[in-house]
Each structure stands twice: as structure tokens, then as C-alpha cells.
Amino acid sequence: MKSIDNLCVIDDDKVCQFIIKTYAAKRSLAKNMQLFSDANEALQYLKNTSTDPKRLPDMILLDINMPIMDGWTFLEEFQKIRENMHKDIIINMITSSIQEDDMLKSKSYSDVAGFYVKPLNEELIINMFEHLPVE
């Protein structure tokens, strides 16, 4: 199983955070994890670490429906700061939305690697890591 250094989870749903955290830890998928309930805070974190590839996440799991800043807005903001980051960051969207619109919309963002529909389970999470590009 591939594993990464930094996994960043942006989801206001604490249960989802807990589930990802637990599986990732048990299957040793990531060495470090940053969990955010607020996309704004995540954005701040990325801005602060943008020049430090060691601390920047290898993968971001992004929820769509969140208060204050939703997943789409995060993506817009992320595009603005991505240039400064010398690292390829994989973004996977995870959402409880079963609306096709959302899936189509996610394809219009080149940063988004995958679109996954909740509920989260072991298979789905493993799947995301198996789709990691070969180095």
C-alpha cells in the first residue's frame, strides 16, 4: 500500500474526520494528518506552509458542503495560491451530495483528482490511496 507524508482533511463533519483518521492510522496511510472543520483555516495553513514542501500536504480530502466557506470556494482560493507551492498536491473531493451537477463541476477543476461519495468506508479510502500517481 502506498503511503504519504501529509494528509489534510477539510470537512466540518467531525464523524468523517474521525473515520478517516482512524482508517489512515490503522492502515498506516499517512505519517501526519491535519484536520480542519473550517476551510478558511485550512487555507491559512496552506498559505503559511506554502514554501515548505515538507509540511505541505500530499493529499487533501475536501468536503463540498461546509458553512462559512464551502469546497468550491476553497478550490477557487486554492488556485490563487497554488503557484507558490512547489509541490503537486492531490485533491480528492468527498461529499454526501449525490447530485450529478457537483460531480460534473468537480471535473472542471484540474486540481481535483477524484470525486468520492460518502458514506466513507475502508474500501473507499484505500481506493483513494491506490490511485495515487506513481512517483
Nearest distance from C-beta of residue 82 to other proteins, angstroms: 20
From candidates 83, 98, 100, 133, binder to other proteins by CB under 8 A: 98
DSSP tag of 132:
S
Residue 106: its H or E element: helix 100-107
Q: Is 133 in the site for other proteins (CB under 8 A)?
A: no
**Least separation, in Å, of the C-beta of 10 and other proteins?**
14
Judged by CB under 8 A, the residue of 50, 53, 97, 116 near other proteins is 97
43 binds other proteins (CB under 8 A): no
Beta bridge partners of 7: 33, 59
126 is written with which cell numbers?
484505500
Four-point Cα dihedral 53, 57, 62, 68, nearest 10 = -70
Alpha carbons within 13 angstroms on the beta-carbon side of residue 16 total 26
Exactly one of 51, 96, 127, 131 binds other proteins (CB under 8 A); that residue is 96
Confirm or reject binding of residue 16 to other proteins (CB under 8 A): yes
Does residue 19 interact with other proteins by CB under 8 A? yes
CA 101 to chain centre: 20
Binding site for other proteins (CB under 8 A): 13-16, 18-19, 22-23, 26, 38, 65, 67-70, 73, 96-99, 118-122
